[in-house]
Amino acid sequence: MQWEQIFKPAALGSAALAGAILAFPAQAQILAQVQLLASTGSAAGSAAPAAPAASPSAFFIITTVLAIGLCLFIARRLWVVHCERDAAWEEVASLQALTERDPLTGLLNRRVVEERFETLRSQGFDTFALIDLDQFKGVNDRYGHQVGDDVLVACGDALRGSEQRDYLAMRLGGEEFVVLLRGQDAYFRAEALRETLPLKIARAVPVLEEPVTASMGLIELPRTGHGVFSFKELYRRADQLLYNAKASGRNRTCFERLTVFNNAPPSRGSAQKIASECESQKAA
Protein backbone atom coordinates (compact mmCIF):
# COMPACT_ATOMS: atom_id res chain seq x y z
CA MET A 1 0.00 0.00 0.00
CA GLN A 2 1.37 3.42 -0.93
CA TRP A 3 1.67 5.99 1.85
CA GLU A 4 -0.30 8.42 -0.31
CA GLN A 5 -3.38 6.20 0.14
CA ILE A 6 -2.99 6.59 3.90
CA PHE A 7 -2.04 10.23 4.25
CA LYS A 8 -4.48 11.69 1.73
CA PRO A 9 -7.70 10.35 3.34
CA ALA A 10 -6.34 11.18 6.77
CA ALA A 11 -5.62 14.74 5.69
CA LEU A 12 -9.11 15.08 4.21
CA GLY A 13 -10.65 13.65 7.40
CA SER A 14 -8.73 16.06 9.59
CA ALA A 15 -9.89 18.95 7.42
CA ALA A 16 -13.49 17.82 7.85
CA LEU A 17 -13.11 17.78 11.61
CA ALA A 18 -11.43 21.16 11.68
CA GLY A 19 -14.77 22.98 11.63
CA ALA A 20 -15.94 20.95 14.63
CA ILE A 21 -12.92 21.75 16.79
CA LEU A 22 -12.22 25.35 15.75
CA ALA A 23 -13.61 26.36 19.15
CA PHE A 24 -10.39 24.97 20.61
CA PRO A 25 -7.49 27.09 19.20
CA ALA A 26 -4.67 24.88 20.46
CA GLN A 27 -6.10 21.75 18.85
CA ALA A 28 -6.78 23.67 15.63
CA GLN A 29 -3.14 24.77 15.50
CA ILE A 30 -1.92 21.19 16.00
CA LEU A 31 -4.31 20.03 13.30
CA ALA A 32 -2.92 22.60 10.85
CA GLN A 33 0.63 21.39 11.50
CA VAL A 34 -0.39 17.76 11.02
CA GLN A 35 -2.20 18.59 7.79
CA LEU A 36 0.97 20.26 6.53
CA LEU A 37 2.95 17.19 7.53
CA ALA A 38 0.49 14.91 5.78
CA SER A 39 0.54 16.95 2.57
CA THR A 40 4.35 16.96 2.63
CA GLY A 41 4.40 13.20 3.10
CA SER A 42 1.90 12.79 0.29
CA ALA A 43 4.00 14.85 -2.11
CA ALA A 44 7.15 13.02 -1.19
CA GLY A 45 5.41 9.68 -1.60
CA SER A 46 4.54 10.44 -5.22
CA ALA A 47 8.20 10.88 -6.04
CA ALA A 48 9.73 8.31 -3.76
CA PRO A 49 8.62 6.33 -0.70
CA ALA A 50 9.22 8.11 2.57
CA ALA A 51 11.59 6.78 5.13
CA PRO A 52 10.00 3.83 6.92
CA ALA A 53 10.80 5.28 10.37
CA ALA A 54 9.04 8.65 9.79
CA SER A 55 5.84 7.46 8.10
CA PRO A 56 4.37 5.38 10.96
CA SER A 57 5.15 8.22 13.37
CA ALA A 58 3.25 10.73 11.21
CA PHE A 59 0.36 8.33 10.82
CA PHE A 60 0.22 7.89 14.61
CA ILE A 61 0.16 11.66 15.13
CA ILE A 62 -2.66 12.10 12.65
CA THR A 63 -4.83 9.38 14.12
CA THR A 64 -4.18 10.68 17.64
CA VAL A 65 -5.18 14.22 16.70
CA LEU A 66 -8.26 12.93 14.92
CA ALA A 67 -9.26 10.96 18.00
CA ILE A 68 -8.73 14.00 20.21
CA GLY A 69 -10.71 16.15 17.80
CA LEU A 70 -13.55 13.65 17.74
CA CYS A 71 -13.63 13.49 21.54
CA LEU A 72 -13.64 17.27 21.77
CA PHE A 73 -16.43 17.48 19.21
CA ILE A 74 -18.53 14.95 21.16
CA ALA A 75 -17.82 16.76 24.44
CA ARG A 76 -18.85 20.06 22.91
CA ARG A 77 -22.09 18.57 21.58
CA LEU A 78 -22.84 17.07 24.99
CA TRP A 79 -22.25 20.45 26.62
CA VAL A 80 -24.57 22.15 24.11
CA VAL A 81 -27.27 19.54 24.77
CA HIS A 82 -26.79 20.02 28.52
CA CYS A 83 -27.19 23.79 28.20
CA GLU A 84 -30.26 23.41 26.01
CA ARG A 85 -31.80 20.99 28.51
CA ASP A 86 -31.17 23.40 31.39
CA ALA A 87 -32.70 26.24 29.40
CA ALA A 88 -35.75 24.09 28.67
CA TRP A 89 -36.16 23.21 32.36
CA GLU A 90 -35.87 26.88 33.29
CA GLU A 91 -38.54 27.77 30.74
CA VAL A 92 -40.84 25.04 32.09
CA ALA A 93 -40.29 26.28 35.65
CA SER A 94 -40.99 29.84 34.54
CA LEU A 95 -44.21 28.81 32.82
CA GLN A 96 -45.25 26.79 35.86
CA ALA A 97 -44.62 29.79 38.10
CA LEU A 98 -46.79 31.90 35.80
CA THR A 99 -49.64 29.42 36.13
CA GLU A 100 -49.35 29.51 39.94
CA ARG A 101 -49.20 33.29 40.32
CA ASP A 102 -51.67 36.07 39.79
CA PRO A 103 -50.27 38.10 36.86
CA LEU A 104 -51.17 41.48 38.37
CA THR A 105 -50.13 41.17 42.02
CA GLY A 106 -47.71 38.24 41.86
CA LEU A 107 -49.53 36.47 44.70
CA LEU A 108 -50.49 32.82 44.52
CA ASN A 109 -53.74 32.15 42.71
CA ARG A 110 -56.75 30.19 43.90
CA ARG A 111 -56.10 27.07 41.82
CA VAL A 112 -52.70 26.22 43.29
CA VAL A 113 -53.79 26.85 46.89
CA GLU A 114 -57.04 24.93 46.47
CA GLU A 115 -55.11 21.96 45.07
CA ARG A 116 -52.67 22.00 48.03
CA PHE A 117 -55.17 22.97 50.70
CA GLU A 118 -55.20 19.59 52.52
CA THR A 119 -51.40 19.60 52.61
CA LEU A 120 -51.41 23.13 54.03
CA ARG A 121 -53.98 22.09 56.63
CA SER A 122 -51.77 19.19 57.68
CA GLN A 123 -48.91 21.70 58.05
CA GLY A 124 -50.91 23.68 60.60
CA PHE A 125 -52.57 26.43 58.54
CA ASP A 126 -55.82 26.55 60.51
CA THR A 127 -56.93 30.18 60.12
CA PHE A 128 -58.76 31.24 56.95
CA ALA A 129 -59.14 35.00 56.37
CA LEU A 130 -61.09 36.38 53.41
CA ILE A 131 -60.25 40.07 52.78
CA ASP A 132 -62.18 42.35 50.43
CA LEU A 133 -61.42 46.00 49.66
CA ASP A 134 -64.35 48.25 50.54
CA GLN A 135 -66.13 50.16 47.77
CA PHE A 136 -63.44 49.27 45.25
CA LYS A 137 -65.81 49.86 42.35
CA GLY A 138 -65.94 53.52 43.36
CA VAL A 139 -62.14 53.71 43.00
CA ASN A 140 -62.36 52.42 39.43
CA ASP A 141 -65.24 54.74 38.59
CA ARG A 142 -63.58 57.83 40.02
CA TYR A 143 -59.89 57.36 39.18
CA GLY A 144 -59.95 54.85 36.34
CA HIS A 145 -58.95 51.23 36.07
CA GLN A 146 -55.22 51.98 35.98
CA VAL A 147 -55.38 53.50 39.46
CA GLY A 148 -57.60 50.59 40.47
CA ASP A 149 -54.89 48.18 39.32
CA ASP A 150 -52.33 50.21 41.27
CA VAL A 151 -54.45 49.79 44.39
CA LEU A 152 -54.63 46.02 43.85
CA VAL A 153 -50.87 45.84 43.34
CA ALA A 154 -50.29 47.88 46.51
CA CYS A 155 -52.60 45.57 48.43
CA GLY A 156 -50.74 42.55 47.06
CA ASP A 157 -47.40 44.08 48.04
CA ALA A 158 -48.71 44.75 51.55
CA LEU A 159 -49.85 41.15 51.91
CA ARG A 160 -46.68 39.73 50.38
CA GLY A 161 -44.50 41.99 52.52
CA SER A 162 -45.75 40.26 55.61
CA GLU A 163 -45.27 36.77 54.21
CA GLN A 164 -43.46 34.46 56.58
CA ARG A 165 -43.38 30.73 57.15
CA ASP A 166 -46.62 31.02 59.15
CA TYR A 167 -48.37 33.18 56.59
CA LEU A 168 -49.61 32.58 53.04
CA ALA A 169 -51.45 35.13 50.87
CA MET A 170 -53.28 34.71 47.57
CA ARG A 171 -55.57 36.67 45.28
CA LEU A 172 -58.86 35.04 44.40
CA GLY A 173 -59.85 37.61 41.79
CA GLY A 174 -61.15 41.14 41.65
CA GLU A 175 -60.54 42.81 45.03
CA GLU A 176 -60.76 39.57 47.03
CA PHE A 177 -57.75 38.11 48.81
CA VAL A 178 -57.26 35.13 51.11
CA VAL A 179 -54.69 34.83 53.87
CA LEU A 180 -53.92 31.48 55.51
CA LEU A 181 -52.21 31.62 58.89
CA ARG A 182 -50.91 29.21 61.49
CA GLY A 183 -49.43 29.52 64.94
CA GLN A 184 -50.33 31.54 67.99
CA ASP A 185 -52.45 34.71 67.84
CA ALA A 186 -53.41 34.13 64.21
CA TYR A 187 -56.60 36.17 64.60
CA PHE A 188 -54.75 39.20 65.98
CA ARG A 189 -52.07 39.00 63.28
CA ALA A 190 -54.69 38.85 60.55
CA GLU A 191 -56.59 41.77 62.07
CA ALA A 192 -53.41 43.83 62.36
CA LEU A 193 -52.68 43.11 58.70
CA ARG A 194 -56.17 44.24 57.65
CA GLU A 195 -55.89 47.46 59.66
CA THR A 196 -52.55 48.40 58.05
CA LEU A 197 -53.83 48.05 54.47
CA PRO A 198 -55.31 51.61 54.14
CA LEU A 199 -52.04 53.25 55.16
CA LYS A 200 -49.88 51.08 52.90
CA ILE A 201 -52.20 51.58 49.94
CA ALA A 202 -52.27 55.36 50.49
CA ARG A 203 -48.48 55.51 50.50
CA ALA A 204 -48.22 53.48 47.29
CA VAL A 205 -51.04 55.32 45.45
CA PRO A 206 -50.82 58.98 46.50
CA VAL A 207 -53.50 60.18 44.06
CA LEU A 208 -56.20 58.69 46.28
CA GLU A 209 -58.08 61.35 48.19
CA GLU A 210 -59.76 58.92 50.58
CA PRO A 211 -58.41 55.81 52.30
CA VAL A 212 -59.23 52.41 50.86
CA THR A 213 -60.33 50.23 53.76
CA ALA A 214 -60.90 46.49 53.89
CA SER A 215 -63.40 44.14 55.50
CA MET A 216 -62.61 40.58 56.55
CA GLY A 217 -64.39 37.33 57.28
CA LEU A 218 -62.18 35.09 59.41
CA ILE A 219 -62.59 31.44 60.36
CA GLU A 220 -60.49 29.61 62.91
CA LEU A 221 -60.42 25.86 62.25
CA PRO A 222 -59.92 23.11 64.82
CA ARG A 223 -56.43 21.66 64.99
CA THR A 224 -57.89 18.20 64.34
CA GLY A 225 -60.41 17.02 61.80
CA HIS A 226 -58.37 17.48 58.64
CA GLY A 227 -60.46 16.85 55.56
CA VAL A 228 -63.73 17.80 57.27
CA PHE A 229 -63.83 21.26 55.69
CA SER A 230 -62.91 21.78 52.06
CA PHE A 231 -61.55 25.01 50.62
CA LYS A 232 -64.90 25.71 48.96
CA GLU A 233 -66.80 25.16 52.21
CA LEU A 234 -64.52 27.49 54.14
CA TYR A 235 -64.74 30.09 51.39
CA ARG A 236 -68.54 29.92 51.52
CA ARG A 237 -68.55 30.42 55.29
CA ALA A 238 -65.94 33.20 55.17
CA ASP A 239 -67.86 34.94 52.39
CA GLN A 240 -70.98 35.02 54.58
CA LEU A 241 -68.94 36.50 57.44
CA LEU A 242 -67.51 39.06 55.02
CA TYR A 243 -71.03 39.98 53.91
CA ASN A 244 -72.00 40.50 57.55
CA ALA A 245 -68.96 42.73 58.09
CA LYS A 246 -69.86 44.92 55.12
CA ALA A 247 -73.52 45.06 56.14
CA SER A 248 -72.42 46.23 59.59
CA GLY A 249 -70.62 49.27 58.17
CA ARG A 250 -67.47 47.92 56.45
CA ASN A 251 -63.87 48.32 57.66
CA ARG A 252 -64.28 45.54 60.24
CA THR A 253 -63.96 41.81 60.81
CA CYS A 254 -66.51 39.10 61.53
CA PHE A 255 -65.08 36.03 63.21
CA GLU A 256 -66.13 32.39 63.60
CA ARG A 257 -64.45 29.51 65.40
CA LEU A 258 -65.39 26.05 64.16
CA THR A 259 -65.48 22.95 66.34
CA VAL A 260 -65.44 19.28 65.37
CA PHE A 261 -67.34 16.93 67.72
CA ASN A 262 -66.41 13.28 68.13
CA ASN A 263 -70.11 12.51 68.54
CA ALA A 264 -72.87 14.42 66.84
CA PRO A 265 -74.52 16.86 69.28
CA PRO A 266 -78.29 16.67 69.74
CA SER A 267 -80.32 18.53 67.18
CA ARG A 268 -81.81 21.92 67.99
CA GLY A 269 -85.26 20.32 68.34
CA SER A 270 -83.96 17.62 70.70
CA ALA A 271 -82.15 20.20 72.81
CA GLN A 272 -85.34 22.28 73.12
CA LYS A 273 -87.31 19.15 74.08
CA ILE A 274 -84.78 18.26 76.79
CA ALA A 275 -84.89 21.84 78.11
CA SER A 276 -88.69 21.74 78.19
CA GLU A 277 -88.65 18.47 80.08
CA CYS A 278 -86.23 19.93 82.65
CA GLU A 279 -88.46 22.97 83.12
CA SER A 280 -91.48 20.67 83.61
CA GLN A 281 -89.65 18.62 86.20
CA LYS A 282 -88.63 21.80 88.07
CA ALA A 283 -92.26 23.01 88.07
CA ALA A 284 -93.48 19.67 89.45
Output the CA–CA distances (angstroms, integers) from residue 217 to 187, 236, 237, 239, 247, in the order listed: 11, 10, 8, 6, 12
Q: Could you give the CA distance from residue 105 to residue 155 in angstroms, rounded to a whole number?
A: 8
Are 179 and 129 in contact, with CB atoms under 8 Å apart? yes
175: annotated active-site residue:
yes
Q: Could you give the CA distance from residue 11 to residue 34 in angstroms, rounded to a whole number?
A: 8
Residue 189: name the closest of 156, 218, 232 by CA.
218
From 91, 100, 175, 279, the catalytic residue: 175
Q: Could you give the CA distance from residue 217 to residue 237 in angstroms, rounded to a whole number?
A: 8
Q: Could you give the CA distance from residue 228 to residue 273 in angstroms, rounded to a whole number?
A: 29
Q: Could you give the CA distance from residue 28 to residue 227 in angstroms, rounded to a whole number?
A: 67
CA angle 270, 275, 279 (to 5 degrees): 145
Q: Is the four-CA dihedral 178, 180, 181, 185 of positive or negative sign?
A: positive
**Beta-strand pair 176-181/127-133:** antiparallel
Q: Is 261 exposed, middle or buried (0-12, 13-18, 19+ CB in 10 A)?
A: exposed
Catalytic residues: 175
